[in-house]
Amino acid sequence: GENVEQHPSTLSVQEGDSAVIKCTYSDSASNYFPWYKQELGKRPQLIIDIRSNVGEKKDQRIAVTLNKTAKHFSLHITETQPEDSAVYFCAAPRNSGNTPLVFGKGTRLSVIA
Amino acid sequence: NAGVTQTPKFQVLKTGQSMTLQCAQDMNHEYMSWYRQDPGMGLRLIHYSVGAGITDQGEVPNGYNVSRSTTEDFPLRLLSAAPSQTSVYFCASSTGGRSPLHFGNGTRLTVT
C-alpha cells in the first residue's frame, strides 16, 4: 500500500512570506494528490488537488507541484496571511484501484503577524 | 444539502462499553470512510465502503465494525471500548477514491 511522508511537521513564517510543505509517496502508480486544511477544532477541508497528468496547479495564492519521477508533491502558499494558520495534510490513494486516501501526518503552519 | 452529518459530537465511555458512531450523507456519494485523528498521527483510515453492502478494512480496523445497508448511512461500532480508542473520529464521503473527500464535523471520543 501507499506510504505518504510529509515534511516539515511544524512551520512558522512571517506574514507575507511564502510557505512550502512537501510530501513524498511510495507507489509510482498513484495518480491523485489532494491537500487538506484543518483549522483548530474544525474538520479537514480540501484546498487544492492535482492529478498525475499535470505538473502544477494554481488557485490564487496556493499552488501544488508534482514531480512524478522523484515521487513528491508540494504545497506552496504565497503572501501568507494569519488566516492561513492551520494544519495541512497531504494525501494519496492507498493503492491501485478505487481505494481511499492515506494521509501524511500533517504540518502545523503558523503565520506570525 | 446538510453534507456529512456525524453524531454524537462528544462521547465519554468506560472501558468495555460499546457504542455506535453515526454518519449520514445526503449527497448520494457511493464512497464513505471512517478516519481517526490522533495528535501527530494524521488521519488514519479505519474502514471504508465503496457502495451499499460493500465494506473493507483500512489501516487500523481492529476493535471496530462497520456496515453499509444504505447509500446514506455508514455507522461505526466500537465493540468493547479501550483507552487506546480515545480519539477524534471523522466520517467522510466522496464520489470515488480519486475524488475530494467531504468530512463530517467529527466525534470526540474519550474512553476512561
pLDDT tens-digit profile of A55-99?
Answer: 999 999 999 999 999 999 999 999 999 999 999 999 998 877 777
Grid cell locating A42: 474544525
Distance from CA of A86 to the nearest CA of B (A): 13
Give the chain B residue whose CA is nearest to the CA of A10: B40
Average pLDDT in chain A: 94
Q: Which amino acid is at B32?
A: M
pLDDT bin (cut points 50, 70, 90) of residue A9 is very high
For chain B, count helices (H), then strands (E).
0, 11
pLDDT at A105: 95
Below-70 pLDDT ranges, chain B: none
Cα angle for residues B81, B87, B88 (degrees, 5° grid): 125
| Dihedral pair phi/psi, residue A61, rounded to 5° | -85, -5
pLDDT at residue A11 is higher than 80: yes
Which DSSP state fits B105? -
Q: Determine whether the interchain pair B50/A98 forms a contact, defined as Cβ–Cβ distance below 8 Å.
A: yes
Separation between Cα atoms, residue B17 and residue B3, nearest integer Å: 30
